[in-house]
Amino acid sequence: MALAPPSYCFVAFPPRAKDGLVVFGKNSARPRDEVQEIVYFSAADHEPESKAECTYISIDQVPRTHAIVISRPAWLWGAEMGANEHGVCIANEAINAREPAAETEALLGMDLVRLGLERGATAKEALDVIVALLEEHGQGGNYYEDANSYHSFQSAYLIVDSGEAWVLETVGKYWAAERITEGVKCICNQLSLTTKIDAEHPELRSYAQSQGWWTGEDEFNFSEVFSPADDHLACCSGKDSLEKQEESITVQTMIDILRDKASGVCIDSESFLTTASVVSVLPQNRSSPCIHYFTGTPDPSRSIFKPFIFVDDVKLVPKAQSPCFGDDDPAKKEPRFQEKPDRRHELYKAHEWARAVLESDEEQGQKLRKTMLELEKQGLEAMEEILTSNDPLDPTEVGDLFYDCVDTEIKFFK
């Protein structure tokens, strides 16, 4: 069984998070050369009987989908992580479980992230959407753009709004979920739910019994029952990073956690790299806007987190979007992935130069890193002002916020 890539998702609720803010974060560990793009889709009405064309299969579309912003591997339809206009954030993890994931093409875990965001106005609604689609269509298909190897995984999700979070862990169509309203939570690439289960598939326990994995006599412990026999449920390193924070957790704290290579949260190995990251702040006071910071580039320790706010007229950012190959895309044609097109977007290409400088030239690299952090700090301070201001948000001022940040970053690298 292929090992699931070691990504990490986090959430912190008040009082552990600062000033009535819920803070969410994710590092997406993927194959080293994979490009992630940042894409905004406005809210839309759909014709009756229209279809949503997901990565491998098409499913029935709903009458209306919410506005979303997502970070996704550029070859697929779904998302590694993202947010919607109602302040719902979702990220997923590829998981190894006792039961291998189906190789038949169905919905990818990443498709379900996007579908949850498009169709759920609260975290609980998004959870209900995901489990209903899982029941109807199943999960399966290659997680990587790779014709030479086939890797399919089960999925776990962290689904968050300003009032609660749900950890949803799935094995095939079976699932269990835990509701969280306080403290901190981290999920990584192994099952984490134990005996506190707040919602579950109606046949979850009888299925575990029918497979001989649970006697029905001991207390039901989800991860013990469904984890692979060789998985010793070592605590994921992200949990320690979050729990050892002595001060209240802010956007900056979350960014620092995601940048930490020593802890293993920021992965940079032979096979995998943190190819994109996100931090979101969701105010519990509904009059303040949610703010989502995306890198759109690999390695958060060498990237700039750039803010995005939902308003009616969001300016699209083609420079953070990969080229579109339409029906000629090798990911859409069968047999799949016979070629690997160049999916690098303009921001990614500009950032490649920065990564090379940071890796090779110590003096110039330190100077560059300092300027990058300064650029990021200006954005964070401007957003802090928006969050603490009593004045209503002026949509015209933030509609091109992410566009301007990407543009400034590219010009700066050139």
In angstroms, rounded to a whole number, what is the distance separating the alpha carbons of residues 385 and 391? Answer: 10
Q: Specify the DSSP element, H or E, that contains 306.
A: strand 306-308
Terminal C-alpha separation, the chain: 43
Q: Both tokens of residue 245?
A: 């924070």
In angstroms, rounded to a whole number, what is the distance separating the alpha carbons of residues 258 and 97? Answer: 25
395 burial via Cβ count (<10 Å: 0-12, 13-18, 19+): middle
| Beta strand pairing call for 68-73 and 81-84 | antiparallel
Q: Specify the DSSP element, H or E, that contains 71.
A: strand 68-73
β strands within 61-164, DSSP E: 64-65, 68-73, 81-84, 89-95, 154-160
Q: Both tokens of residue 139?
A: 């999960």
208, 214 contact by CB (below 8 A): yes
**Closest of 82, 126, 78, 83 to residue 106, by C-alpha:** 78
Please enumerate in sequence order all residues whose Cβ is within 8 A of that of 194, keeping only pairs 6 or more positions apart, or say none: 221, 222, 223, 224
Tell me if residue 266 is catalytic: no
Catalytic site residue from 9, 89, 290, 405: 9
Number of Cβ atoms within 10 Å of the Cβ of 222: 26
Q: Both tokens of residue 196?
A: 């506190």
Active site residues: 9
